[in-house]
Structure 1
Amino acid sequence: MPAVLFESQYNPPAAFFTELLGAEALWLEAHEHYRKQTYRNRCLILTAQGTQALTVPVIDGNRSEKVLTTEIEIDYRQNWIHRHWRTLQTAYGGTPYFEYYAEYLHDIYFQKPQRLFELNTLLLRFYFRCLRLRLPVHLTPEYVAPSAASQLHNFTISPLLDRRDWLTPKAAVSPEPDRTSVRPYPQSFGKDFVPGLSILDLLFMQGPAAGSFLS
């Protein structure tokens, strides 16, 4: 299986991890300019009112797209951690495995890393442990435009599958559903299965069995 190239994401959708099954490695894009209104700083969860986005505020958001994604700083002047945590407690406090993971997640959030990329990486490594994914994570040494994807093999001796901006909040259901499928599982609200949610939804509902729902 080829290595996979993704942008750094905040609490990624479960489909992010589906793409990593059997992959040789994960490469994180470290030399792009930051893009707003993407999974880089937001995730989707399920609440009693339906799907809700949780967004990490960044400093100088109006000029953020001119800054390298690894340099984007989190805006702690806004009490976003408290809001996210309260929302997660309200949405998932009654799920089978919220308490199982809550302390670990709480510790990550309250490290208060300066940069968004750092926070996303801390969370990513935690999810790797939860899902028992054992593959190396590398940072890209330079930026290669999608139009020049044939050059991506220079990063690694194996083929590299470019999945940058393949998943977006505006189209939570991918145009390639067969490649982002997550086996339906019972969710905390509603009768119909809601796809495209953060990995948190699957973990809180299925716990250590979460990995078996990735397909």
Structure 2
Amino acid sequence: MNILIHPTYFPNIAHFVAMVKAKHVVFEMDDNFVKQTYRNRTYIYGANGKLALNIPVIHSQKNRQKYRDVKIFNDENWQSLHWKSLLSAYRTSPFFEYYEDELQPLFQTKATYILDFNMTCFEVICDCLQLELDSSKTETFQKTTEGTTDFRSLVNAKKEQPQTFETYTQVFSNKHGFIPNLSILDLLFNEGPNALNYLESQTLASQ
């Protein structure tokens, strides 16, 4: 199966389940930027439950902007805040130290464009997962697709389908129970090398 999907900020489990099951992954690179989506947001499991990490962007709602042209608002020290949040949430997880050195540079080097940064994060995660994907990028925007399953709806943080993924042990699950479909980081820090096996064994709710 060939799929079309948005590059997002540390994609959630649903995104990765779709990708690992695909024969070929096509990344949507030519759409318009939309606020309040996973393009610049991911969710982790904090001490008080589900926690959103948002990348601030310079975006005008009046004039449509291509996703690839949207710049990160680096006047805010968001990278430091995100890294501190990850430390607070996962430093006691079984595999945080195992991946820390690969991930920390992402929060120390300034990036200009949100799409480029998301792709860099994705490549680092694939290295951590030891996942090799056959992928390509779109060059023009197509509203409908032929011969490719359209998973672009997964980018909508507000309208996502409930997913019934198998439970795995999370750091604060004794406080708030299992929270499904968080950032791939949650799975990686808790399951480590088993994360890829987990993704391959899951089934997506129909879109």
User: Scaled by the length of structure 1, what TM-score is found?
Assistant: 0.86
- Work out whether residues 15 and 154 of structure 2, in 8 Å CA contact, stay in contact via their aligned partners in 1: no
SS at match of 2:26: strand
Partner of 2:121: 123
Could you list the per-position Cα deviations for residues 72-96 of structure 1 after superposition, in whole angstroms to 9, with x for gaps in the alignment? 1111100000110111100111111
> Could you say if the C-alpha distance between residues 167 and 142 of structure 1 is closer, same or farther in structure 2, counting changes exceeding 3 Å?
closer
Q: Does 1:29 align with 2:28?
A: yes
Pairing of 1:182-197 with structure 2 (within 5 A)? 182-191=165-174, 192-197=177-182
SS in 2 for 1:89: helix
| 2:70 alignment partner, one of 69, 72, 81 | 72
- Alignment match of 1:163 (pick from 146, 151, 156): 151
C-alpha contact 2:4 2:28 (8 A) present in aligned 1: yes
What are structure 1's unaligned runs of at least 5 residues?
154-158
Letter in 2 for 1:134: E
After superposition, residues 5-20 of structure 1 pair within 5 angstroms as 5-20=4-19
- Cα 1:198–1:15 change in 2 (3 A) is same
Aligned length: 198
In the alignment, the residues of structure 1 paired with residue 98 and residue 165 of structure 2 have an alpha-carbon distance, to the nearest angstrom, of 22
Query: Can you list the C-alpha shifts for 1:104-141, whole angstroms capped at 9, x where unaligned?
Result: 11112323221001110011112222223222221111
**Aligned residue in 1 for 2:205:** none
1:139 corresponding residue in structure 2: 137
Q: CA deviation at 1:64?
A: 7.8
Matching residue's letter, 2:186: D
Residues 64 and 160 (structure 1), Cα distance of their counterparts in 2 relative to 1, 3 Å cut:
farther
**Kept after mapping to 1: 8 A contact 2:55/2:78:** yes
1:213 to 198, 201, 204: 198
Aligned-partner Cα distance in 1 for 2:165–2:98: 22
| Alpha carbons 2:26, 2:135 under 8 Å: kept | yes
Following TM superposition, by how much is the alpha carbon of 1:65 offset from its aligned partner in structure 2, in angstroms? 6.7
Cα deviation 1:125-160 (Å, max 9, x = unaligned): 122222232222211111111xxx2xx23xxxxx21
Residue 171 of structure 1: CA displacement?
A: 4.6
| Contact 2:14-2:154 within 8 A present in 1 as well | no
- Give, in whole Å, the separation in 2 of the partners of 1:65 and 1:23: 35
Q: Over aligned residue pairs, what C-alpha RMSD do you find?
A: 1.7
Q: Percent identity?
A: 32
Change (3 A) 1:64 1:71: farther
